[in-house]
A and B are shown apart, each in its own frame.
Chain A
């Protein structure tokens, strides 16, 4: 469902051109669980941003669900992000002045869904992530793990096909990190395509498919039986 063909992404830094992505060709099918690993600056976040339509490829072709999305306008890209893609960030990116429930509601609001339809959907997602009793808390009243679970609830409330997680456990202690990853993997079990960027090899090993990147290129692309069977 995700098909990248000869994707390049160049950045201009001073008078130097940095090839963050250098001729990346990649195909990910529905329901996959993919980890993208590599040292910092290897282009793994850029790859995620291009897949998530937050960033545009300099050259190459990107098909999402068989549709060429390379040339979409900004507004069309925004719509696609809203409906098809969920993001989970290392820094959670919750809006501090809004409650957990209101944060989860944001994508529904941007989609123009009426309030009375939004509430049951938000409640359901929060319940699935065991956050019901936290729904009226502001982010600063939540633990790191809870915050990231709120962010996951927000990423999945529109029922997207793809969930993109950029270092989702980077700001968490080991226990919360494991919980968050378990949550993501449980979602993957239920059919969502999961892409996790991490520089933690142990976490990356848990994915069914592992991609290693160095200097903007994919250097290894292996499908291994997961070392740890997800619950």
Chain B
């Protein structure tokens, strides 16, 4: 005697229809659990993708040289604070161009100064760099030219301004060719940056770029904030890194007093951290699925005791214990599958809303999370119904029938 699958499904379906409150309650529990997994993992994944994307926008095959190095290799708070045992100089930067594997370099100096034009003034971040910076960072100009291709130590009084600076200082007035005052020096506007949004550390729209030598004069320093080096190919990154370390060590009287990090290494670290974060939030959400499972167990137990007489009747009509278990489990499985499907739809809708509300966050739930959430939902539904089902199968038909 074997129940037919269509009959089992149909019977379970009718049972779910027969008790709408219970069914809706369990559907909600399941749906919330699955939706939570989908939304939370999509958030985690979105954060990961955002950071990865930001780092990619930094440039390709990029190597960053910081002044200063503590004994421990890698990035430490002291490297970030910029404790400087020995300054990086323009000559250091120039020395780094002498490798076949280096495509281009850009020395960078950063400071803040008051910028004014015809009585309007504004505190602005000033980046001192070179012609190559544009290519290294993949930025684009809206108007005019970028910094001139001259010797690094020539302090030309020219400036490339961000879009926001343009509108704040010049308003409707034409900015190109105007002279503006940065600190106590005058610079001519030769270019305006295209809108690039934010890219790690630099808000291009709210920045003014001037030649690095001019910046050194402006801030009265001979040192550099960092040097960006672009390797010719991906495989050249490691040799270039070694070349930089060796060159600067030789130039700094044998002291390894710079920190060289590759974009890849940073990227990989963030990737790992955020990947782990996604797993973690996914795991937390999975707990809510388990809670949904326990709810299902309780409700199924109630369902079995509510329907004791019915189970007794099925037994009297010739249902074997196995058939009873199959019928109850089918009901739970159907519930879980429906609840999980609703949860998936809700979760995907939630991620869609997040993507609309925060367009910079690519909140797409990873496939593994969606599949796992669905499977866990089915599994918890099944596992937690095993107990009620066995309970039902063991009911004494005489007692069950006498209960109304």
A114: interface (CB < 8 Å): yes
- A-B pair number, CB within 8 angstroms: 82
> How far is A183 from B11 in the complex, measured between Cα atoms in Å?
29
List, in ascending order, chain B residues with CB within 8 A of A79's CB. 1, 318, 320
| Contact across chains for A110 and B14 when beta carbons are under 8 A apart | no
From A25-33, A94-102, A217-225, the one touching the partner chain is A94-102
> How far is A176 from B317 in the complex, measured between Cα atoms in Å?
24
Report the nearest B residue to A93, measured CB to CB: B313
Number of B residues near A (Cβ < 8 Å) is 29
| Contact across chains for B316 and A81 when beta carbons are under 8 A apart | yes
Report the nearest A residue to B8, measured CB to CB: A109
Given contacts A89-B401, A96-B18, contact A111 B1 (CB under 8 A): yes
A61: interface (CB < 8 Å): no
Q: Which of A103-130 contact B (CB under 8 A)?
A: 106-107, 109-112, 114-115
| Contact across chains for A81 and B318 when beta carbons are under 8 A apart | yes
Q: Nearest-CB distance from A163 to chain B (Å)?
A: 13
| Contact across chains for A54 and B14 when beta carbons are under 8 A apart | no
Given contacts A109-B3, A110-B3, A115-B7, contact A87 B398 (CB under 8 A): no
List, in ascending order, chain A residues with CB within 8 A of B17's CB. 97
Per-position binary interface string of chain A over residues 38-75, scored 1 when its CB falls under 8 Å from any chain B CB and 0 otherwise? 00000000000100101100000000000000000011
Report the nearest A residue to B11, measured CB to CB: A109
List, in ascending order, chain A residues with CB within 8 A of B320's CB. 74-75, 78-79
Number of A residues near B (Cβ < 8 Å) is 31
A154: interface (CB < 8 Å): yes
Report the nearest B residue to A46, measured CB to CB: B398
Q: Nearest-CB distance from B14 to chain A (Å)?
A: 6
Q: Nearest-CB distance from B67 to chain A (Å)?
A: 78
List, in ascending order, chain A residues with CB within 8 A of B398's CB. 49, 54-55
Report the nearest B residue to A94, measured CB to CB: B313
B15: interface (CB < 8 Å): yes
List, in ascending order, chain B residues with CB within 8 A of A55's CB. 397-398
B4: interface (CB < 8 Å): yes
Q: 27 A-B Cβ contacts within 8 A?
A: A54-B401, A55-B398, A74-B320, A74-B321, A78-B318, A79-B320, A81-B315, A81-B317, A81-B318, A82-B1, A82-B318, A89-B401, A93-B310, A93-B312, A95-B310, A96-B18, A97-B17, A109-B3, A110-B314, A110-B317, A111-B1, A111-B318, A112-B2, A112-B3, A115-B4, A115-B6, A158-B318
CB within 8 Å of B: which residues of A?
A: 49, 52, 54-55, 74-75, 78-83, 87, 89, 91, 93, 95-98, 102, 106-107, 109-112, 114-115, 154, 158
